[in-house]
């Protein structure tokens, strides 16, 4: 056999696959991987059936069904005041992950450095490396805020881009208006692109505001905004998202998009376009998940786990240092195999693992699922 070189020689299975497999083997409640265990709105499901019956089963335009791109543009304008042209600025993608990967391919070249604020979703690092770039991890502060002094110190003449993620997975924090203004000043001063992962944009709690790059003209002009219908509408398996960017960036994105996935599942796009005519589902999402967050946090109050702030997303991070000195990966394994609840160790979200004795739970689950998990976690001593 010829030698088969790898662009990711050190990559194994993602932590999400590992923990989900372990949870299934041991009958654990899976609060590790971030997916809902409840169904989508029947109205949305019926819309897919109707789209197929109407004959929307062949290739759509490469950047996406026009009606869906128009619906996305209208929503972004209403939310953030930024007028994206649906013809030139919006591309429908095969989920947020493909949108992120293609954005990196579009703006990162061989040897370019990309600032990655850690802990960071685990697809960023390999996607940057596959684009020929060099991910430069910059840890957050102890309370999971962006350390802008550290970000500034990490910027070099080779820095090409920065990855922003808000609401933030895995910490559950949200970026403030001041964070976005600071990023805007840095990006303009150092002439950086921004890849902004905003897939949890509609999950922000306690009356807080999601601050999107789209709302800041200096950022919108140099950013790829990535979002996900799978996260918003409880259909993660559909793998449909979008990227919004100004014309020059979108043109570079589409040149690559057409030769990776070309386009995305046609009837689903038509269904989403029709479904977006009613804003209530996404407008009510923050309240929906805040109720789940509050119930889960109340149940965990009976355990020795220390609850860290959760301002957005559907993830709750906890500190287990009061009950164990095990490293995070080991504790997560024990939690899954012996307690019966799967979680994700935060140490895997760093280039250089930092052991803070923190794990992440997903609360995008049915009430009975969360209640069973809390019952098992209450047995921790």
Tell me the CA end-to-end span of the chain in Å, nearest whole number: 54
Alpha-carbon gap, residue 183 to 218, rounded angstroms: 10
In this structure, what token pair is assigned to residue 304?
């020795």
pLDDT of residue 3: 84
Alpha-carbon gap, residue 20 to 236, rounded angstroms: 15
- pLDDT (tens digit, 9 = 90+) per residue, 146-159? 999 999 999 999 99
Name residues whose C-beta falls within 8 Å of residue 262's C-beta, 6 or more positions apart in sequence: 59, 62
Alpha-carbon gap, residue 134 to 114, rounded angstroms: 6
Strand 193-197 with 159-165, pairing: parallel
In this structure, what token pair is assigned to residue 356?
């803070």
pLDDT of residue 353: 75
Alpha-carbon gap, residue 352 to 359, rounded angstroms: 17
Alpha-carbon gap, residue 320 to 306, rounded angstroms: 6
- pLDDT (tens digit, 9 = 90+) per residue, 124-137? 999 999 999 999 99
Q: Which CATH class is domain 15-40+283-377?
A: alpha beta
pLDDT of residue 18: 86
By the 10 Å C-beta count (0-12 exposed, 13-18 middle, 19+ buried), 2 is classed as exposed
On whether the 58-278 domain is CATH 3.40.640.10, my answer is: yes
Question: Cβ distance 222 to 87 under 8 Å?
Answer: no
Q: Could you write out the DSSP letters of every residue in 133-148?
A: -EEEEEE--TTS---H
Question: Cβ distance 365 to 36 under 8 Å?
Answer: yes
- What CA–CA distances, in Å, run from 55 to 16, 50, 267, 274? 37, 9, 8, 15
By the 10 Å C-beta count (0-12 exposed, 13-18 middle, 19+ buried), 309 is classed as middle
- pLDDT (tens digit, 9 = 90+) per residue, 78-114? 999 999 999 999 999 999 999 999 999 999 999 999 9
Percent residues over pLDDT 70 in the chain:
100
The pTM assigned to this predicted structure is 0.95
Residues of the chain with CATH 3.90.1150.10: 15-40+283-377
Is pLDDT above 90 for 66? Answer: yes
- pLDDT (tens digit, 9 = 90+) per residue, 206-225? 999 999 999 999 999 999 99
Confidence of residue 296 (pLDDT cuts 50, 70, 90): very high
Q: Three-state DSSP class for 74? A: helix
In this structure, what token pair is assigned to residue 192?
């950086």
Diameter of the chain by CA atoms? 59
Alpha-carbon gap, residue 20 to 46, rounded angstroms: 30
pLDDT of residue 281: 97
Residues of the chain with CATH 3.40.640.10: 58-278
In this structure, what token pair is assigned to residue 284?
């009510």
Confidence of residue 378 (pLDDT cuts 50, 70, 90): very high
- pLDDT (tens digit, 9 = 90+) per residue, 166-206? 999 999 999 999 999 999 999 999 999 999 999 999 999 99
* 65 dihedral zone (left: phi>0; alpha: psi -120 to 50; beta): beta
Residue tagged 């693992």 (tokens): 353
Give the helix, strand, coil percentages of the chain, each rounded to 5.
45, 15, 40
Alpha-carbon gap, residue 111 to 133, rounded angstroms: 5
Is pLDDT above 90 for 43? Answer: yes
Residue tagged 């993602």 (tokens): 14
């Amino acid at each position: 056999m010829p030698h088969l070189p790898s662009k990711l020689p050190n990559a194994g299975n993602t932590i999400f696959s590992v923990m989900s497999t372990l949870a299934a083997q041991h009958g654990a409640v899976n609060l590790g991987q971030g997916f809902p265990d409840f169904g989508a709105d029947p109205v949305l499901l019926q819309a897919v059936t109707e789209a197929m019956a109407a004959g929307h089963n062949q290739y759509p335009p490469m950047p996406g069904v026009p009606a869906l791109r128009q619906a996305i543009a209208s929503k972004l304008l209403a939310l953030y005041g930024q007028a994206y042209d649906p013809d030139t600025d919006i591309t429908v993608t095969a989920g947020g992950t493909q949108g992120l990967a293609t954005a990196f391919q579009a703006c990162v070249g061989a040897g370019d450095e990309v600032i990655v604020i850690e802990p960071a979703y685990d697809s960023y690092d390999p996607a940057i490396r596959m684009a020929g770039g060099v991910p430069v991890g910059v840890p957050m502060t102890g309370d999971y805020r962006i350390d802008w002094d550290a970000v500034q110190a990490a910027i070099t003449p080779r820095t090409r881009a920065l990855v922003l993620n808000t609401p933030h997975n895995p910490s559950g924090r949200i970026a403030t208006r001041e964070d976005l203004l600071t990023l805007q000043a840095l990006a303009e001063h150092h002439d950086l692109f921004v890849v902004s992962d905003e897939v949890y944009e509609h999950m922000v709690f306690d009356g807080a505001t999601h601050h999107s790059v789209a709302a800041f003209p200096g950022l919108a002009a140099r950013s790829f905004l990535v979002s996900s219908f799978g996260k918003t509408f409880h259909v993660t398996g559909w793998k449909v998202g979008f990227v919004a960017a100004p014309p020059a960036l979108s043109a570079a994105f589409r040149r690559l998009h057409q030769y990776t996935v070309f386009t995305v599942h046609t009837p689903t796009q038509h269904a989403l376009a029709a479904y977006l005519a009613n804003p209530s589902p996404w407008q009510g999402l923050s309240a929906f998940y805040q109720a789940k967050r509050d119930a889960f946090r109340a149940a965990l109050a009976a355990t020795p786990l220390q609850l860290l702030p959760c301002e957005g997303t559907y993830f709750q991070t906890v500190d287990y240092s009061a009950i164990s000195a095990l490293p995070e990966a080991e504790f997560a394994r024990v939690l899954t195999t012996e307690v019966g609840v799967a979680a994700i160790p935060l140490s895997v979200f760093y280039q250089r693992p930092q052991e803070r004795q923190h794990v992440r739970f997903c609360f995008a689950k049915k009430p009975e699922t969360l209640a069973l998990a809390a019952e098992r976690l209450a047995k921790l001593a």
